[in-house]
Chains A and B, each alone.
Chain A
Amino acid sequence: MRRAPSALELRRDGAARYLPWTIGLKMFFAALAVAGMVALERVASTWESGANAVVTVELPAGSSAAMIDAALETMRRTVGVASAELLSEDAMADLLSPWLGAGDAMQDLPLPVLIDVRIDEGEVVDWAEAEARLYEAAPEASLETGMVWVERLVDFARLGQLLAAIVLMVVVAVAALTVVFATRSGLAIHRETVELLHLLGASDGYLAREFQWQAFWLGIRGGVGGVLCAGGALVVIGFAAGRMEAPLLPNVGLGVVGWLLLILLPALSGLLTMAAARQTVLHDLARVP
């Protein structure tokens, strides 16, 4: 059934006509901020869980077989460790070939013994405890987890998330203010109609509903436009990131949660504009005799 026309046609106003555009622009930035927060969360979580950490146990050159076995056994018994394997001479040769070449130079060098430790995906390993047990079993072994610089990277990612959250809050606040001003402008433009509706028995709530639903759909329209543009931009960014050789950025994607949040953003935009319009109307009408 056709919707009854409203006595207050906000879409006809100058301020409201451009509301979807201004809201759309703000939702574009909001979507990028949300995407940034989600992507950084995924990267930081990956770094924190250590799934991507390269963990190595190093023993001095000439270490005894017993000490090497003790170190291997200790690492294999560590909770969260999937495997611990002695790095073969061939693998060592491959690793050092860029510096030493493919010749026999390595045979004359006192190379340390390296154990390559792999971690179960998603497991969090207590490296402090593992290091203490390793020290007991093989006092000359040392554990290289890279956790120091991982922690710094995680801190940096968290800072990025904080900045994205601040940007998001500012964008939302500016969007709400835009709606407040557009609503005030609408109230001023339609002052006579608002007064007429009051005299015909309309309550403040009725008038607020007239404004809020129109603001809701304008907000939805703006939100959809902004999120579609942001989605396109994110796909391009993701494509470009995929072509980069960046081993430190294991999962730049948004994941299901990220994309769901982006899909929800237009609805949130509509709810935001609706709430801002309603509160503005109720606040301003309360001052009318």
Chain B
Amino acid sequence: MVRFENVGMRYGLGPEVLRDISFTLEPGSFQFLTGPSGAGKSSLLRLLFLGYRPSRGLITMFGEDVAEADREQLALLRQRIGVVFQDFRLVDHLSARENVALPLRIAGVGDEDILAPVTELLDWVGLGDKLDAFPQTLSGGEKQRLAIARAVIRRPRLLLADEPTGNVDGVNGRRILRLFEALNDLGTTILLATHDERLIARYAHPCMRLVAGQLLEVATREAAQ
């Protein structure tokens, strides 16, 4: 589904923030990405959600070479990816319902086909009573779940999450992880970036470790133990 081969990335004329990154994400897999602050997790995620182009190397997503894609094709590729941002990136003047509906509207889904799935999904993430609430009235955990709902409303084949438990307490963190596991069970490929080693240790999913812009290991909990 996703393949990186010797990928390097730099911002402008600055030094490379990612070097010789190679890995593969298989369909239906659940993968952690970890590393210390400044290791390049956010940059790698940026490449994954097609927010930036690599300075070298090959990135293949859904069988397509990203370097060959024009702007229109990139937009279509992004529609197959769900992203949960660390800072949620909710639109403040839109209600919970409209925030979640946004990816559907972008995909050209008509109003008549939006209300039911949005309501159902908000119910599923535990926000069924917050349909018309605005983001600034929600707690951190609620915002995170709202961001997850927005990321998965279009049933993406790949879900990328950047520190999804970073802004919530332990209970809400576990609740969010359960949501991700449920989505993974439904066939969504998940890459979850976190610096929370205890969280990683709690699950049996493989983990990629970034240090100073380089991918050092791809390990499972069993291998780490």
Contact = CB atoms under 8 A, between A and B. Distances in A.
B79 interface: yes
B94 interface: yes
B111 A1 contact: yes
Nearest to A205: B72
B62 interface: no
B53 interface: yes
Given A198-B75, A201-B75, A203-B75, A7 B52 contact: no
Most-contacted residue by chain A among B71, B72, B98 (CB, 10 A): B71
A201 B76 contact: yes
A5 B53 contact: no
Contacts of B38: none
A192 interface: yes
Contacts of A199: 49-51, 78, 83
A148 interface: no
B171 interface: no
Interface in B44-63: 49-53
Contacts of A196: 89, 91
Interface stretch (B14-22, B101-109, B172-180, B213-221): B101-109
Contacts of A200: 78-79, 83, 102-103, 106, 150
Interface in A242-289: 286, 289
A204 interface: yes
A198 B72 CA distance: 11
Contacts of A193: 91
A205 B103 CA distance: 15
Contacts of B94: 5, 7
B89 A4 contact: no
B93 interface: yes
A12 B92 CA distance: 13
Most-contacted residue by chain A among B71, B75, B79, B107 (CB, 10 A): B75
A209 to B, nearest CB: 11
A201 B78 contact: yes
Nearest to A192: B89
A241 interface: no
Contacts of B89: 192, 196
A114 to B, nearest CB: 79
Interface in B77-95: 78-79, 81, 83, 89, 91, 93-94
A7 B91 contact: yes
B98 A289 contact: no
Interface string A27-67: 00000000000000000000000000000000000000000
A198 B78 contact: yes
A150 to B, nearest CB: 61
Interface in B91-129: 91, 93-94, 98, 101-103, 105-107, 111
Contacts of B98: 4-5
A286 to B, nearest CB: 8
Nearest to B80: A201
A5 to B, nearest CB: 6
Nearest to A2: B111
| A-B pairs, 7 with minimum CB distance | A201-B79, A203-B75, A201-B78, A202-B106, A7-B91, A200-B103, A196-B89
Interface of A: 1, 4-5, 7, 9, 12, 192-193, 195-206, 286, 289
Interface of B: 49-53, 71-72, 75-76, 78-79, 81, 83, 89, 91, 93-94, 98, 101-103, 105-107, 111, 150, 154
Given A200-B83, A202-B106, A203-B75, 20 more contacts: A1-B111, A5-B94, A5-B98, A7-B91, A9-B93, A12-B93, A195-B51, A198-B51, A198-B75, A199-B50, A199-B83, A200-B106, A201-B76, A201-B79, A201-B106, A201-B107, A201-B154, A203-B72, A204-B75, A289-B52
